[in-house]
Chain A
Amino acid sequence: MKNDTVLSMRGISKTFPGVRALHNVDFTLCKGEIHALMGENGAGKSTLVKVLTGVYQKDSGQINIDGIDREIRIKSPQEAQDSGISTVYQEITLCPNLTVAENMFIGRGNYRFINWRSREKRAGEILTKLKIPTSATRQLGTCSLAVQQMVAVARAVDMECKVLILDEPTSSLDEHEVELLFSLMRDLKSRGVGIVFITHFLEQVYEICDRITVLRNGELIGAYDIKDLPRFDLISKMMGKELDEISELQHHKKKEVGEDAPIVYEAFGLSSVEGIKPFDFEIKKGEVNGFTGLLGSGRSESVRAIFGADRITRGKIRINEKEAKISSPKDSMKHGIGYLPEDRKGDGIIEDLSVRENIILALQVLKGFFHPFPKAEAEAFADKYIKLLGIKTASMDTPIKSLSGGNQQKAILARWLLTNPQYLILDEPTRGIDIGTKVEIQKLVLKLAEDGVSVTFISSEIGEMLTTCSKLIVMRDRKIVGELKGEEMTQTKIMHTIAGEATQDA
Chain B
Amino acid sequence: MLKSLNVKKLSHSQLAIPLFALFLVIVFNAFRDISFFSIHVITNNYGNTVFSGNLISIINGASELAVLAIAMTLVTAATKGQDISVGAAAAIAGSVFVRVLRANDITMPIILLALVTACIVAIIFGLFNGALVAFFDIQPMIASLILFTAGRPIAYWINGGATPNVDSPLLSYIGSFIPGIPIPSPILIVIVFGILVTLALKFTNLGLYIQSVGINEKAARLNGINPVLMKLLAFMILGVCVSIAGAINVCRIGLINHETILIDIEMDAILAVAIGGNALSGGKFKLAGSVVGAYIIQALTITLYAMKVSSTAVKAYKAIVIIAIVVIGSPVVQQHAIQLRNRLFKKPIKLTENN
Binding site for B on A (CB under 8 A): 10-11, 13, 24, 26, 57, 59-61, 309, 328-330, 333, 339, 341, 346-353, 357, 361-362, 364-366, 368-372, 415
Interface of A is mostly: mixed
A347 close to B219 (CB less than 8 A): yes
Query: Which residue of A352, A357, A364 contacts B283 across the interface (Cβ within 8 Å)?
Result: A352
**What 0/1 readout, one digit per residue, does chain B (216-237) give for beta carbons within 8 Å of chain A?**
1011111111100000000000
A to B CB contacts below 8 Å, 22 in the list: A24-B351, A60-B351, A309-B222, A328-B224, A329-B221, A330-B226, A333-B223, A333-B224, A339-B222, A341-B219, A347-B218, A348-B222, A350-B211, A353-B212, A361-B212, A362-B224, A369-B205, A370-B204, A370-B205, A372-B205, A372-B208, A415-B223
Given A351-B216, A361-B212, A60-B348 contact (CB < 8 Å): yes
Closest to B283 in A: A352
Contacts of B310 in A (CB 8 A): none
A351 close to B215 (CB less than 8 A): yes
Given A10-B355, A329-B223, A366-B224, A346-B218 contact (CB < 8 Å): yes
Contacts of B211 in A (CB 8 A): 350, 352-353
A369 close to B204 (CB less than 8 A): yes
B221 close to A361 (CB less than 8 A): no
Given A357-B208, A370-B204, A372-B208, A59-B225 contact (CB < 8 Å): no
B339 close to A372 (CB less than 8 A): no
B352 close to A24 (CB less than 8 A): yes
* Least distance between A503 CB and chain B CB atoms (Å): 37
A357 and B220 CA atoms in complex are apart in Å by: 12
A341 and B284 CA atoms in complex are apart in Å by: 23
Contacts of A415 in B (CB 8 A): 223
Judge whether B103 is part of the interface by a CB distance below 8 angstroms: no
Identify the interface centre among A24, A57, A353: most chain B CB within 10 Å of its CB.
Answer: A353
Judge whether B349 is part of the interface by a CB distance below 8 angstroms: yes
Closest to A308 in B: B222
Query: Which residue of A24, A362, A371 contacts B223 across the interface (Cβ within 8 Å)?
Result: A362
A365 close to B283 (CB less than 8 A): no
Judge whether B353 is part of the interface by a CB distance below 8 angstroms: yes
B222 close to A341 (CB less than 8 A): yes
Judge whether B203 is part of the interface by a CB distance below 8 angstroms: yes
B339 close to A353 (CB less than 8 A): no
Contacts of A364 in B (CB 8 A): 205, 208
* Least distance between B203 CB and chain A CB atoms (Å): 7
A24 close to B353 (CB less than 8 A): yes
* Least distance between B236 CB and chain A CB atoms (Å): 14
Judge whether B209 is part of the interface by a CB distance below 8 angstroms: yes
B205 close to A350 (CB less than 8 A): no
In addition to A59-B348, A333-B224, A365-B205, 9 A-B residue pairs with Cβ atoms within 8 Å of each other are A13-B349, A24-B352, A330-B224, A330-B225, A346-B218, A348-B219, A353-B208, A361-B212, A369-B209
Contacts of B355 in A (CB 8 A): 10
A57 and B339 CA atoms in complex are apart in Å by: 10
A350 close to B216 (CB less than 8 A): yes
* Least distance between A27 CB and chain B CB atoms (Å): 13
**What 0/1 readout, one digit per residue, does chain B (324-355) give for beta carbons within 8 Å of chain A?**
00000000000000010000000011011101
Query: Which residue of A353, A362, A368 contacts B284 across the interface (Cβ within 8 Å)?
Result: A353
A339 and B204 CA atoms in complex are apart in Å by: 25
Closest to B212 in A: A350
* Least distance between A166 CB and chain B CB atoms (Å): 26
A341 and B221 CA atoms in complex are apart in Å by: 12
Interface of chain B residues 224 through 263 with chain A (CB within 8 A): 224-226
Contacts of A348 in B (CB 8 A): 219, 222
Query: Which residue of A11, A333, A339, A368 contacts B351 across the interface (Cβ within 8 Å)?
Result: A11
A370 close to B352 (CB less than 8 A): no
Contacts of B348 in A (CB 8 A): 59-60
* Least distance between B183 CB and chain A CB atoms (Å): 33
Given A57-B339, A370-B204, A346-B349 contact (CB < 8 Å): no
A61 and B350 CA atoms in complex are apart in Å by: 10
* Least distance between A424 CB and chain B CB atoms (Å): 14
Closest to A11 in B: B353
Query: Which residue of B203, B204, B215, B352 contacts A11 across the interface (Cβ within 8 Å)?
Result: B352
Closest to B211 in A: A353
Contacts of B349 in A (CB 8 A): 13, 59-60
Closest to A366 in B: B224
Identify the interface centre among B209, B216, B226, B283: most chain A CB within 10 Å of its CB.
Answer: B216
A224 and B68 CA atoms in complex are apart in Å by: 63
Contacts of A10 in B (CB 8 A): 353, 355
* Least distance between B113 CB and chain A CB atoms (Å): 28
A30 and B215 CA atoms in complex are apart in Å by: 41
Contacts of A365 in B (CB 8 A): 205, 209, 223-225
Contacts of B221 in A (CB 8 A): 328-329
A159 and B205 CA atoms in complex are apart in Å by: 48
Closest to A57 in B: B339
* Least distance between A435 CB and chain B CB atoms (Å): 27
* Least distance between A392 CB and chain B CB atoms (Å): 21
Closest to A307 in B: B222
Interface of chain B residues 18 through 38 with chain A (CB within 8 A): none
**What 0/1 readout, one digit per residue, does chain B (263-287) give for beta carbons within 8 Å of chain A?**
0000000000000000000011000
A57 and B349 CA atoms in complex are apart in Å by: 14
Contacts of A371 in B (CB 8 A): 205
Given A24-B352, A60-B351, A330-B224, A349-B219 contact (CB < 8 Å): yes
* Least distance between B12 CB and chain A CB atoms (Å): 9
A13 and B224 CA atoms in complex are apart in Å by: 41
* Least distance between B230 CB and chain A CB atoms (Å): 10
A348 and B221 CA atoms in complex are apart in Å by: 10
